[in-house]
Structure 1
Amino acid sequence: MSNAHHRKKQPVLVRQQLLEVAARLAGEQGMSAVTLDAVSAASGVSKGGLLHHFPTKNALLDALFESLLEKFDAEIDQLMRADPLPQGRFSRAYLQAVSGLKDRPDDSRSWTQVTIALLAEPRLRLRWRQWVAERAEEYIGTDSALDTLIVRFAADGLWLADTLESHDISGALRRELIARLIELTHK
């Protein structure tokens, strides 16, 4: 008798595995490579199993975006906990999280593909706008000064430059730029 029917199901782990495979495919081959068939094959999860978690490709992409946002939020929260100065704390953490993507190739590749999809997909743009608005409201007491807004816009510009590989901002120049932006959050 087969043990297949007696295996303990682990839907949370399977869902996470599917999202990790989708992120890897997006990072390595671009968003067009993230198909239900490709994710099913690369993960070893049956198509029916995949469809149980993500009934459509859009559902998979939305979940991938949410997963990346959760990781991003967790990193920002960790950076904020390590920062003793409340004024500008969120903006400093946002800048550090965004500028640090370049140093984490797996995250960077996934975010690069999702950022490109973000530009093209209205539902992802809406979700990003919601995330930005939620954070702006949450940190209105500490990060509503004009200088902190400038820092977050500069971080977005750095993120876009890193995504497009349009500027060679590395080494000492990058550290100096980030240090100057951090100084603005103290005002």
Structure 2
Amino acid sequence: MSKAHHRKKRPEAVRRQVLAVAARLSLEKGPASVTLDAVSQAAGVSKGGLLHHFPNKLSLLDGLFDDLTQDLDRVLAELMQVDPEPKGRFTRAYIATFFQPEGLEDGDRWKVLTVALISEPHLRDRWREWFDRHLVENIGTDSSLDATLARYAVDGLWLDDLLGVLVIDTAMRATLLKRLLDMSRL
């Protein structure tokens, strides 16, 4: 009898390992490198073990999306809870989370997901649904034109930082941050 039969099963640890490896492969070699064979081999997991959690590549991306948006929901909720000013609360939490990408927890996984969002219509739909849900939940406080502009500006900065197109110095970044936060209150 092999040792595998005596090993304690840890399905959540295997799931997290597989997601981490898929994200790493995608960053290092591009999204096309994320195949079930490559991920199972790099994660040290049998193909059957991988298929137990993720039957195909899209389900791997869905798993990454689910993990990231659950973490994002938690961070946004925590930031909103400590913000004493209701008007623009969601927008300020969004700004605080995405304005400084180097401070974004799991930044590499976000890069992978951003690339996947561009190339996978299914994930774009899921992101749109996630975002729409938050906008509906905060319609009374974050539906002003200025709050919308502030969120779009942060999205643009996030993409710019991801691509490394334009490097904004610290003073300009501080000015932009103040202006965006001010806009969230209008």
TM over 0.5: yes
CA distance in 1, matches of 2:29, 2:75: 26
Matches for 1:67-86 after TM superposition, within 5 Å: 67-86=67-86
Matched, 1:90 2:113: no
Q: Which residue of 2 aligns with 1:21?
A: 21
Q: Which residue of 2 aligns with 1:4?
A: 4
Q: CA deviation at 1:107?
A: 2.7
CA distance in 2, matches of 1:70, 1:23: 17
Matches for 1:111-126 after TM superposition, within 5 Å: 111-126=110-125
Q: Which residue of 2 aligns with 1:110?
A: 109
Paired residues of 1:40 and 1:47 also in contact (CA < 8 A):
yes
CA distance in 1, matches of 2:32, 2:79: 33
CA distance in 1, matches of 2:82, 2:21: 31
Q: 1:66 to 1:144 in 2, by over 3 A?
A: same
Percent sequence identity over aligned pairs? 51
Q: Which residue of 1 aligns with 2:52?
A: 52
Provide, for residues 109-142 of structure 1, a one-character-per-residue CA deviation record: whole Å limited to 9, x for no partner.
3222321221121101101110111011011121
Q: CA deviation at 1:170?
A: 3.4
Where structure 1 has 5 or more consecutive residues not aligned to the other structure, the ranges are: none
Q: Which residue of 2 aligns with 1:150?
A: 149
Paired residues of 2:95 and 2:151 also in contact (CA < 8 A):
yes
Q: CA deviation at 1:91?
A: 0.3
Provide, for residues 16-48 of structure 1, a one-character-per-residue CA deviation record: whole Å limited to 9, x for no partner.
221122222223332222221221122111111
CA distance in 1, matches of 2:165, 2:47: 39
Paired residues of 2:61 and 2:116 also in contact (CA < 8 A):
no
Provide, for residues 161-184 of structure 1, a one-character-per-residue CA deviation record: whole Å limited to 9, x for no partner.
112211112312112101110011
Where structure 2 has 5 or more consecutive residues not aligned to the other structure, the ranges are: none
CA distance in 2, matches of 1:144, 1:82: 20
Paired residues, what number?
A: 186
CA distance in 1, matches of 2:94, 2:60: 26
Q: 1:145 to 1:27 in 2, by over 3 A?
A: same
TM-score normalised over the length of structure 2: 0.91
Q: Which residue of 2 aligns with 1:180?
A: 179
Q: CA deviation at 1:5?
A: 1.2
Q: CA deviation at 1:154?
A: 0.9
Aligned amino acid, residue 127 of structure 2 = W
